Protein backbone atom coordinates (compact mmCIF):
# COMPACT_ATOMS: atom_id res chain seq x y z
CA UNK A 1 0.00 0.00 0.00
CA UNK A 2 1.18 3.47 -0.74
CA UNK A 3 1.57 5.76 2.21
CA UNK A 4 -1.02 8.48 1.58
CA UNK A 5 0.16 10.81 4.30
CA UNK A 6 3.68 10.93 2.84
CA UNK A 7 2.70 12.99 -0.21
CA UNK A 8 4.82 16.01 0.49
CA UNK A 9 3.09 18.74 -1.47
CA UNK A 10 3.48 21.50 1.13
CA UNK A 11 7.00 21.50 2.45
CA UNK A 12 8.83 24.31 4.20
CA UNK A 13 12.25 25.72 3.26
CA UNK A 14 14.08 22.80 4.81
CA UNK A 15 12.08 20.28 2.72
CA UNK A 16 10.03 19.00 5.66
CA UNK A 17 6.28 19.15 6.35
CA UNK A 18 5.26 21.32 9.29
CA UNK A 19 4.71 19.19 12.43
CA UNK A 20 0.97 19.92 12.97
CA UNK A 21 0.14 19.06 9.39
CA UNK A 22 2.29 15.90 9.52
CA UNK A 23 0.54 14.74 12.70
CA UNK A 24 -2.85 15.49 11.17
CA UNK A 25 -2.06 13.43 8.07
CA UNK A 26 -0.60 10.60 10.15
CA UNK A 27 -3.71 10.55 12.30
CA UNK A 28 -5.97 10.42 9.23
CA UNK A 29 -3.86 7.59 7.80
CA UNK A 30 -4.09 5.62 11.05
CA UNK A 31 -7.86 6.06 11.10
CA UNK A 32 -8.07 4.78 7.51
CA UNK A 33 -5.91 1.77 8.44
CA UNK A 34 -8.14 1.05 11.45
CA UNK A 35 -11.25 1.23 9.25
CA UNK A 36 -9.64 -1.21 6.79
CA UNK A 37 -8.72 -3.53 9.67
CA UNK A 38 -12.26 -3.44 11.08
CA UNK A 39 -13.67 -4.16 7.62
CA UNK A 40 -11.32 -7.13 7.18
CA UNK A 41 -12.26 -8.46 10.64
CA UNK A 42 -15.95 -8.16 9.84
CA UNK A 43 -15.42 -10.09 6.61
CA UNK A 44 -13.40 -12.74 8.47
CA UNK A 45 -16.11 -13.08 11.11
CA UNK A 46 -18.75 -13.33 8.40
CA UNK A 47 -16.76 -16.02 6.58
CA UNK A 48 -16.16 -17.90 9.84
CA UNK A 49 -19.90 -17.80 10.61
CA UNK A 50 -20.67 -18.97 7.08
CA UNK A 51 -18.21 -21.87 7.48
CA UNK A 52 -19.91 -22.83 10.78
CA UNK A 53 -23.32 -22.87 9.09
CA UNK A 54 -22.02 -25.03 6.26
CA UNK A 55 -20.42 -27.43 8.77
CA UNK A 56 -23.74 -27.68 10.66
CA UNK A 57 -25.56 -28.44 7.40
CA UNK A 58 -23.01 -31.15 6.58
CA UNK A 59 -23.41 -32.75 10.01
CA UNK A 60 -27.20 -32.68 9.73
CA UNK A 61 -27.10 -34.25 6.30
CA UNK A 62 -24.65 -36.93 7.47
CA UNK A 63 -26.95 -37.73 10.40
CA UNK A 64 -29.89 -38.06 8.01
CA UNK A 65 -27.92 -40.42 5.79
CA UNK A 66 -26.89 -42.50 8.81
CA UNK A 67 -30.53 -42.75 9.86
CA UNK A 68 -31.33 -44.09 6.41
CA UNK A 69 -28.54 -46.64 6.85
CA UNK A 70 -26.35 -45.58 3.97
CA UNK A 71 -22.58 -45.36 3.93
CA UNK A 72 -21.24 -41.83 4.17
CA UNK A 73 -18.36 -40.65 2.00
CA UNK A 74 -15.30 -39.41 3.86
CA UNK A 75 -15.60 -35.92 2.37
CA UNK A 76 -12.67 -36.34 0.01
CA UNK A 77 -14.02 -35.81 -3.45
CA UNK A 78 -12.06 -37.70 -6.08
CA UNK A 79 -12.57 -38.21 -9.74
CA UNK A 80 -12.66 -41.71 -11.15
CA UNK A 81 -9.21 -41.12 -12.62
CA UNK A 82 -7.84 -40.39 -9.12
CA UNK A 83 -9.27 -43.53 -7.57
CA UNK A 84 -6.45 -45.87 -6.63
CA UNK A 85 -8.67 -48.64 -5.29
CA UNK A 86 -10.96 -50.65 -7.54
CA UNK A 87 -14.63 -50.03 -6.91
CA UNK A 88 -16.35 -52.79 -5.01
CA UNK A 89 -19.63 -54.12 -6.25
CA UNK A 90 -22.56 -54.41 -3.95
CA UNK A 91 -22.86 -57.90 -2.53
CA UNK A 92 -25.10 -60.22 -4.52
CA UNK A 93 -28.53 -60.94 -3.15
CA UNK A 94 -29.33 -64.58 -2.53
CA UNK A 95 -32.42 -64.77 -4.71
CA UNK A 96 -33.30 -68.44 -4.01
CA UNK A 97 -33.25 -67.73 -0.26
CA UNK A 98 -35.39 -64.64 -0.78
CA UNK A 99 -37.89 -66.65 -2.84
CA UNK A 100 -38.06 -69.36 -0.19
CA UNK A 101 -38.56 -66.79 2.55
CA UNK A 102 -41.38 -65.10 0.60
CA UNK A 103 -43.11 -68.39 -0.04
CA UNK A 104 -42.83 -69.34 3.64
CA UNK A 105 -44.25 -65.97 4.75
CA UNK A 106 -47.24 -66.19 2.47
CA UNK A 107 -47.97 -69.83 3.22
CA UNK A 108 -49.68 -70.09 -0.16
CA UNK A 109 -48.60 -70.64 -3.73
CA UNK A 110 -47.58 -67.45 -5.52
CA UNK A 111 -47.16 -66.57 -9.17
CA UNK A 112 -43.70 -65.70 -10.46
CA UNK A 113 -44.90 -62.12 -10.95
CA UNK A 114 -46.00 -61.87 -7.30
CA UNK A 115 -42.68 -63.28 -6.11
CA UNK A 116 -40.71 -60.92 -8.38
CA UNK A 117 -42.65 -57.95 -7.02
CA UNK A 118 -42.20 -59.11 -3.42
CA UNK A 119 -38.43 -59.51 -3.68
CA UNK A 120 -37.97 -56.49 -5.96
CA UNK A 121 -36.46 -58.49 -8.82
CA UNK A 122 -37.13 -58.87 -12.54
CA UNK A 123 -39.80 -61.34 -13.64
CA UNK A 124 -37.50 -63.05 -16.13
CA UNK A 125 -34.73 -63.69 -13.61
CA UNK A 126 -37.23 -64.73 -10.95
CA UNK A 127 -38.61 -67.37 -13.34
CA UNK A 128 -35.07 -68.56 -14.06
CA UNK A 129 -34.38 -68.93 -10.33
CA UNK A 130 -37.69 -70.74 -9.82
CA UNK A 131 -36.81 -73.23 -12.60
CA UNK A 132 -33.42 -73.92 -10.99
CA UNK A 133 -35.02 -74.29 -7.57
CA UNK A 134 -37.62 -76.67 -9.02
CA UNK A 135 -34.85 -78.86 -10.51
CA UNK A 136 -33.21 -79.00 -7.06
CA UNK A 137 -36.53 -79.85 -5.43
CA UNK A 138 -36.66 -76.66 -3.39
CA UNK A 139 -40.02 -75.49 -4.78
CA UNK A 140 -43.00 -77.14 -6.42
CA UNK A 141 -44.40 -75.44 -9.49
CA UNK A 142 -47.90 -76.06 -10.73
CA UNK A 143 -48.58 -74.18 -13.93
CA UNK A 144 -48.05 -70.49 -13.19
CA UNK A 145 -47.72 -70.76 -9.42
CA UNK A 146 -44.92 -71.87 -7.13
CA UNK A 147 -45.13 -73.21 -3.60
CA UNK A 148 -42.69 -74.50 -1.03
CA UNK A 149 -41.39 -78.00 -1.32
CA UNK A 150 -42.06 -80.44 1.46
CA UNK A 151 -38.33 -80.99 1.94
CA UNK A 152 -36.39 -78.35 3.87
CA UNK A 153 -34.30 -75.86 1.97
CA UNK A 154 -30.56 -76.30 2.46
CA UNK A 155 -28.70 -73.30 3.84
CA UNK A 156 -25.20 -72.81 2.51
Tens-binned pLDDT, residue by residue, of the chain (156 aa): 445 555 545 656 666 667 778 788 888 999 999 999 988 888 888 888 888 888 888 888 878 777 776 655 566 655 555 556 666 677 888 889 888 888 887 777 888 898 899 888 999 999 999 999 889 888 887 776 666 554 444 333
The DSSP symbol for 6 reads: G
Residue 135 near residue 124, CB atoms below 8 Å: no
| Distance separating alpha carbons of residues 112 and 124, to the nearest angstrom | 9
Phi (first) and psi of residue 3, to 5 degrees: -85, 105
Amino acid sequence: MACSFCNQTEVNEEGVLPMPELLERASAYLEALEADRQSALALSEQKAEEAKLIRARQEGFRAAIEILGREIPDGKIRSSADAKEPRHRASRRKIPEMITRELSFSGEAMTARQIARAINYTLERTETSLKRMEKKGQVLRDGGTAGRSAQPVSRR
